[in-house]
Amino acid sequence: MKIILLGAPGAGKGTVAKLLTEYDGSVQISTGDIIRGAVKSGTKLGMQAKTYMDAGDLVPDELIMEIMKERLAEPNCRQRFILDGFPRTIPQAQALKGLMEELKIRLDFVVSLEVPRDVILDRLTTRRTCANSDCQEIYNIKSNPPLPDGTCIKCGSPTIQRDDETEAAIQHRLETYAKKTSPLIEFYQKEGLLKEFTSLNSKDTVAAIKKQLS
């Protein structure tokens, strides 16, 4: 498949993307994971991106496009991919459109995950992430907890609350989403690519997306 996942922070893009990769071996391309990896390994890109990220701000479009141009040109992306967390702004969407034309890639469709705001707030404040940048497994202290001592079930590293998952940063991210990212819904509607899914349960959502694909 070749799809874009759109949704507010906490809408479940990461979880849905992971489940979809198991379906047909598509690669999940998460800009958030790529940036966090770069921060961890202290690259120039990572250092530039970190301040924006920690404040819950978007990383500038030029920086993101630099990363994505490279990533999408990799051979394993041509056939199957799930874009998770990208594009996030109208300029990114326009740049992506040009890039797709250049690489002769055609999207199946754009998935918009619709989740009520109170559900989103609850999910974000209870989320924990494995601190190991090679793992980054996501947990939820209510519905999917790590081990009792707080370590990751997969790799044993500590799990942490991300700097951008404090109350204040979350509020700010939701505002940024409303202002910068939600206009993409109309953008892709006009392109004739948008499909909306009410998403309270990731497994049901994945089943609905698969049905649309076949």
Q: Which residues are designated catalytic? A: 13, 88, 127, 162, 173
> Are the CB atoms for 80 and 2 separated by under 8 Å?
yes
Tell me which stretch binds Zn ion (CB under 5 A): 30-38, 40-48, 145-153, 177-185: 145-153
Enumerate residues 104-143 that contact Zn ion by CB under 5 A.
Answer: 130, 132, 135, 137
110 belongs to the binding site for ligand ADP (CB under 6 A)? no
- 192-211 residues in contact with ligand ADP (CB under 6 A) are none
Q: Which of 5, 9, 112, 136 binds ligand ADP (CB under 6 A)?
A: 9
Q: Where does residue 13 rank: exposed (0-12), middle (13-18), buried (19+ CB within 10 A)?
A: buried
CB closer to Zn ion out of 160 and 200:
160
Write out the H or E segment, with its range, that includes residue 109: strand 109-114
| Helical pair 61-73 and 44-54, crossing angle rounded to 10 deg | 130
The answer for residues whose C-beta is within 8 angstroms of residue 143's C-beta and 6 or more apart is 126
Query: Can residue 139 be called a binding residue for ligand ADP (CB under 6 A)?
Result: no
Q: Rule CB under 6 A: is residue 82 a binding residue for ligand ADP?
A: no
The encoded tokens of residue 182 equal 């939600």
Positions touching ligand ADP (CB under 6 A) are 9, 13, 31-32, 35, 52-53, 56-59, 64, 85-88, 92, 164, 173
